[in-house]
Chain A
Amino acid sequence: MSPVDGPGISNPNLPVDPAVNEGRVPGRAEEEIPELHEVDCPPELRERIEELMGRYPDRRSASIPALWAVQERYGWCTFEGIRQAAAVMRVTPAYLESVASFYDLLHTKPVGAHRIEVCTNISCWMRGGDRLLDAFKEAAGDDGEGFYVTGFECLGACDIAPMASIDQRYYGPLEAAEAGVAIEQLRAGEDVLPEKALAKRGLAGDA
């Protein structure tokens, strides 16, 4: 029995009555939950989400991982994809959409195939993050299908400022001119700026 589904049953000794949290559990309106046969969910996606749900004591915990899976399959969190995930997870599509719209990395609108997030927060800003963002935007041009370029809040890599996350991998410190190189490498399907990959760096104190 999942702790959320059975207040007080799995946790009989709880000092605080879990019922106080009951009103906070969303996505339970049964009549709004689509049936699996209504949504035409690809079997691989369904299996993936079911596997994710199995990892948690409560299936709803899988909502962010499930949305990641939807985004991986369709490129972004499409309306249909969200309905499919909702049908598998037995929650309302509105609930999953509310989750998707909360987080910066889940896209509820179409985005380009390659995602480039340029940090413009304090440490990167001091080292020219704004200029790097402009350079990436210019290099990507109007190729909205190929590239999604955006400024981003601190990515947690101030040691390699100014930096960018390209398809979820970190690169830095970058010069503005390297933006064009990276875009060309992505277009050609090559490794991006291999010398600037975070994974290649040593410890700062060893320098």
Chain B
Amino acid sequence: MNVIVEREKGPLQELETRIAALRERGGAGPPADVAVLEAKYRALLEDLFGNLTPWERVNMARHPKRPIASDYLAALDQLDELHGDRHFRDDPAIVGGFAKLRGRRVMVLAQQKGRDTKENIRRNFGMVSPEGYRKAKRLIELATRFGLPIVSFVDTSGADPGIASEEHAQSEAIAACLTALAKATVPVVAAIVGEGGSGGALAIAMADTVIMAENAVYSVASPEGCAAILWGDSARAPEAAERLKLTSRDLHGFGIVDRVVEEPLGGAQRDAARFVERMLDAIDEELRRLEDRSGSELLDARYAKFRRIGAWQEAAQPAAAVVP
């Protein structure tokens, strides 16, 4: 059960229906009525969604109507999808290819969830298999050869945890994808648009600039998994979500996310088309910022950026506990 979907039912839905009905009647009723209802509606939205907890944002990131990769890809100027890892198969959980974004040629990589059950099964719920990471690696290297900036859309609960994925060396596939990004002498911009599920998300998100949608989440472990480990009870996921510091604001504070793109009140799905454009604008702006840098400048800056991340202390002496 999605707590955001539940909250959208009841009074909010009633108001929406009433406003829509009044609008349909056109000039028949007094216009003041619509204005009053709309004010009420905005106040209710503020009340319901104005101050979301981390767990509510997790649900927002998993909202069934939230824009998914295909919505962003459809808004590009053009896209020519390139398929397959050239070894074993094409992984539909990740889409990649040549594209034009605001007139600029780019290589896109996007983790693709489905809109319905059938599509979700085909896309493996956006959980990428080793073949998908090997396709991504191939496209990162291709982009590097021809100087195309890389743009990734991240939306996955995590890398696929199945038997076949282990047999095909999931770890090596992710590690190799990270290596390819560390070597890419072109600008890399990642957009965390929905769920950023651990290493499976990072594999295509190790970027010069990491953009995050306001209500997206990005976490070292799923709140359910974390709660199961900590308390043996995945129902305590809301508490785990609180502790994991997985919101855009937290991660911006840590320097892990460089830019947060604000969502409409109540979530990106309430004005999906406009939010998608806003995200593409942000990506375009960040690409422009990076476009004049040389390959070695990019590599040095990327090295320095990830080199800094952490929170260790430098002690004058080794820890006392080491020497008994």
The answer to whether A and B interact is no
Interface residues of A (CB under 8 A from B): none
